[in-house]
């Protein structure tokens, strides 16, 4: 059927109708065969008191053809050519991808719409480019990727957050009007993670049809979900362009970031499974195929107090606990005695390190660990040599006061000299020292980001990508962590050139449970930096037993974030225990299918990861249990006909406050059938608030 393009993946179909403009007829469960009559059966009536023509919800909806909701493209040429209407001139499609070229010969614009459906993961990715075909400049104010949703997508789950409280979720009805998120912070941001879910009524972790979306972009963005007054609904995402930010000269083009999306029949678990598969196969590029090393990061241990002898002691203790990569955080470079100085001066502070950094690195390496170093390349302090030499490198708008953030300013990466300086500094550090890992931080937002007077978030974001790309091309073995006051820059596009995220500055294990769960819908555990912090959290002052801290850190890319020299030996043994547990299961954790189970006690998180023959399930009691006895753990994702060996891996030793007698199976290995585990379940011990247990299942 030539008027239809049908893209298929393992479980999904994307059916696109070719008319004046391409329009998605179906995106969701796989349709094996398309009926001859599909064009007739999907033809819409025309309602009274509206336009006399049908208005398609196309791959780039146009205001000019009567789409009165958010158009996919907006712009003008000195006030003209502001309502383009396109006609498809060419299209190409192969099994998993389609490209459409559309033109407007009045406004002299060309659109290229690329859409791909990845066979293995069922993830769709879409992007649009616009080209100016005329000699007068075209001022683009918006170009976004739009994807339709079916009428039974009735509920939304969106994200909000702030520093130390990333990835918080919010549910709302999706029946009239919609949801709009605009991020103008110049980085992905803690506040506006560029992702959302829409789904059928009451969709949850395990049930319901859900559609998930994520815009892979680390700058400003706009994300919306809208219900039209005719009931049709859609999600739209693109870069948020500041006034005048994109001006296209003759034959110049602008492309949107990629919008990633997927559809699931099995609630949020199906979504995360698809995103994780896609990310693992297409986004993450680890330089070596090796287990993710366990970290020790010095920040919460010593902050700015750097004494090489002491740091070496920390390293020895770390190695004894089983740490595999030791990272010196902020405070190592010349003049960096606190937050207010030295950013930009990427030279070793020889007062703090009179014998250089080499002896420390050698010591770390001798203990069998890799060495990592913290940097914050995009920033400059006023109190720095760099600022005294190059005040003009600050990203600002001349004539206005530029506010500081954490007492620092942003460097203009589009300034070639500044870009070259940063590349030279970082490259020299990586050449001179045996550095396996950079923790790349970014601790403030962009305010009035001007490059030669014009808005520069787009340019700054692309220049950051270029700097990372150039550095990785020169030092292909180095790994980089994306940190931005914790989780302020977490997205698929930065992940193409980094290898781990610092999920949050909040190391309070209870808060981390929620943050990590929100992040886990999009990102697999091997890129989620999760550390055991001191017993008293430095951001909340809440105290947690090592069980809660260890179990919470264990399920991501694990690390420790404290001073091991100051910790009592009993506590150190406990760290070693959780590190060993992590290592025992990290192959499964970092390659298996992650899932979450609906807990009948809403004060519990039940998370799991499974391969074809193993499964690990963590039950975390977030607050006082709802009832005196916990509900049985019913595991829906086992094979009904299979048998499993079930054993407890871990539970808090001190958990005898609420429970006076343990179920006797805790000390045994059980053999249970899939049917039993699904339907009857496993009786759990009573967990005290803020504690967690772990169960392992092996298929026999």
Write down the least CB distance from residue 484 to ligand DGJ, Å. 7
Residue 609's CB: how many other CB atoms inside 10 A? Answer: 21
CB of 511 to ligand DGJ, least distance (A): 14
The residue (of 163 and 465) whose beta carbon lies closer to ligand DGJ is 163
For residue 312, the SS3 value is: helix
502, 521, 523, 575: residue in contact with ligand DGJ (rule CB under 6 A): 502
Size of the chain, expressed as the number of residues it contains = 700
DSSP summary character for residue 80: B
What are the beta bridge partners of residue 437? 372, 479
- Give me the DSSP letters along 178-208: EEEEEE-SSSS-SS--SEEEEESTT--SSSB
Q: How far is the CB of 284 from ligand DGJ (least distance, A)?
A: 21
Return the number of the residue (74 or 511) whose C-beta is nearest ligand DGJ. 511
Nearest-5° angle of CA 645, CA 646, CA 651? Answer: 155
498 binds ligand DGJ (CB under 6 A): no
Q: Which residues inside 308-337 make contact with ligand DGJ, applying CB under 6 A?
A: 329-330
Burial of 353 (0-12, 13-18, 19+ CB in 10 A): buried
- Single residue of 146, 269, 298, 443 touching ligand DGJ by CB under 6 A: 443
> Which residues inside 413-442 make contact with ligand DGJ, applying CB under 6 A?
441
Q: Out of 505, 508, 563, 601, pick the active-site residue.
A: 505
CB-count burial class (<10 Å; 0-12, 13-18, 19+) for 453: exposed
Residue 35 is among the residues annotated as catalytic for this protein = no
Catalytic-labelled residue, pool 118, 122, 345, 441: 441
Other Cβ atoms less than 10 A from the Cβ of 521: the count is: 25
12 labeled part of a ligand binding site? no
CA angle 323, 522, 513 (to 5 degrees): 55
Find where tokens 């990203």 sit: 395
How far apart, in whole angstroms, are the C-alpha atoms of residue 364 and residue 372?
10
Backbone angles phi, psi at 181, to 5 degrees: -130, 130
224 is in an annotated binding site: no
Q: Is 441 a catalytic residue?
A: yes
Stretch that binds ligand DGJ, among 31-39, 68-76, 315-323, 478-486 (CB under 6 A): 478-486
Residue nearest to ligand DGJ (CB): 330
The distance of closest approach from Cβ of residue 439 to ligand DGJ in the complex, given in angstroms and rounded to an integer, is: 6
Is 126 labelled as part of a ligand binding site?
no
Can you tell me the distance from the alpha carbon of 509 to that of 692, in angstroms, rounded to the nearest whole number? 11
Residue 694 lies near ligand DGJ (rule: CB under 6 A): no
Identify the residue among 483, 509, 554, 581 touching ligand DGJ (CB under 6 A). 483
Q: Which is nearer to ligand DGJ, 360 or 692 (CB)?
A: 360
Contact between 381 and ligand DGJ by CB under 6 A: the answer reads no
What is the closest distance, in whole angstroms, from the C-beta atom of residue 163 to ligand DGJ in the complex? 9
Q: Is 443 annotated as a binding residue?
A: yes
Cα gap 198→112, rounded to integer Å = 27
Q: Across the strands, what pairs with 222?
A: 182, 238
Residue 690 near residue 655, CB atoms below 8 Å: no
505 binds ligand DGJ (CB under 6 A): yes
User: Site size for ligand DGJ, by CB under 6 A?
Assistant: 11
Give the residues lining the site for ligand DGJ (CB under 6 A): 299, 329-330, 374, 441, 443, 483, 485-486, 502, 505
Residue list, annotated binding site for substrate: 163, 329-330, 406, 439-443, 483, 505
Residue list, annotated binding site: 163, 329-330, 406, 439-443, 483, 505
Catalytic residues: 441, 505
């Amino acid at each position: 059927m030539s008027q239809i393009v049908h893209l298929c993946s393992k479980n999904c179909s994307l059916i696109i109708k070719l008319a004046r403009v391409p329009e998605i007829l179906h995106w969701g469960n796989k349709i094996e065969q398309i009926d001859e009559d599909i064009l007739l059966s999907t033809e819409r009536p025309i309602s009274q008191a509206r336009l006399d023509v049908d208005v398609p919800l196309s791959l780039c909806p146009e205001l000019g053809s009567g789409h009165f909701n958010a158009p996919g493209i907006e712009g003008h040429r000195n006030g003209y050519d502001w309502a383009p209407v396109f006609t498809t001139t060419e299209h190409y499609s192969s099994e998993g991808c389609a490209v459409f070229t559309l033109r407007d010969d009045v406004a002299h614009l060309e659109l290229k719409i690329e859409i791909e459906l990845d066979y293995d993961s069922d993830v769709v990715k879409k992007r649009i480019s616009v080209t100016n075909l005329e000699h007068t400049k075209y001022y683009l104010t918006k170009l976004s990727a739009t994807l339709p949703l079916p009428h039974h997508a009735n509920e939304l789950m969106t994200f909000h957050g702030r520093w130390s409280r990333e990835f918080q979720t919010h549910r709302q009805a999706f029946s009239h009007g919609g949801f709009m998120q605009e991020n103008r912070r110049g980085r992905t941001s803690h506040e506006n993670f560029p992702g959302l879910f829409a789904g059928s009524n009451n969709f949850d972790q395990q049930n319901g049809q859900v559609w998930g979306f994520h815009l892979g972009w680390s700058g400003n963005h706009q994300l919306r979900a809208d219900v039209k007054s005719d009931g049709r609904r859609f999600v739209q995402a693109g870069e948020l362009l500041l006034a005048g930010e994109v001006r296209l000269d003759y034959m110049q083009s602008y492309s949107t970031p990629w919008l990633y999306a997927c559809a699931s029949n099995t609630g949020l678990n199906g979504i995360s499974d698809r995103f994780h598969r896609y990310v693992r196969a297409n986004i993450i590029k680890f330089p070596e195929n090796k287990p993710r090393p366990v970290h020790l990061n010095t920040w919460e241990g010593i902050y700015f107090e750097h004494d090489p002898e002491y740091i070496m002691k920390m390293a020895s203790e770390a190695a004894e606990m089983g740490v595999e990569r030791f990272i010196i955080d902020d405070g190592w470079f010349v003049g960096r005695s606190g937050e207010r100085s030295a950013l930009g001066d990427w030279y070793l502070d020889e007062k703090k390190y009179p014998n250089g950094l080499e002896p420390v690195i050698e010591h770390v390496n001798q203990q069998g660990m890799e060495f990592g170093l913290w940097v914050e390349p995009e920033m400059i302090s006023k109190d720095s040599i760099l600022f005294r030499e190059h005040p003009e490198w600050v990203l600002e708008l001349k004539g206005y006061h530029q506010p500081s953030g954490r007492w620092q300013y942003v460097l203009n990466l589009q300034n070639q000299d500044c870009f070259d300086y940063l590349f030279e500094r970082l490259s020299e550090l990586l050449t001179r020292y045996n550095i396996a890992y950079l923790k790349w931080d970014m601790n403030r937002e962009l305010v009035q980001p001007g490059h030669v007077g014009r808005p520069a978030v787009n340019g700054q974001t692309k220049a950051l990508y270029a700097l990372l790309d150039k550095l990785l091309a020169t030092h292909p073995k180095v790994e980089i962590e994306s940190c931005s006051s914790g989780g302020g820059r977490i997205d698929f596009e930065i992940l193409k050139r980094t290898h781990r995220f610092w999920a949050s500055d909040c190391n309070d294990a209870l808060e981390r449970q929620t943050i990590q769960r929100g992040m886990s819908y999009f990102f697999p555990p091997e890129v989620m930096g999760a550390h055991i912090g001191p017993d008293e959290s430095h951001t909340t002052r809440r105290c947690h037993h090592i069980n809660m801290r260890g179990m919470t850190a264990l399920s991501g890319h694990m690390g420790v974030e404290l001073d091991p020299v100051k910790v009592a030996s009993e506590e150190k043994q406990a760290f070693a225990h959780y590190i060993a547990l992590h290592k025992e299961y990290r192959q499964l954790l970092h390659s298996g299918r992650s899932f979450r189970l609906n807990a009948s006690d809403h004060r519990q998180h039940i998370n799991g990861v499974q391969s074809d023959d193993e499964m690990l399930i963590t039950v975390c009691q977030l607050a006082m249990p709802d009832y005196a006895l916990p509900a049985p753990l019913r595991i829906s994702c086992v094979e009904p006909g299979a048998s499993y060996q079930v054993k407890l891996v871990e539970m808090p030793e001190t958990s005898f406050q609420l429970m006076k007698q343990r179920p006797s199976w805790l000390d045994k290995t059980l053999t249970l059938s899939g049917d039993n585990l699904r339907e009857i379940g496993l009786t759990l011990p009573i967990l005290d608030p803020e504690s967690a247990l772990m169960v392992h299942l092996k298929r026999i």
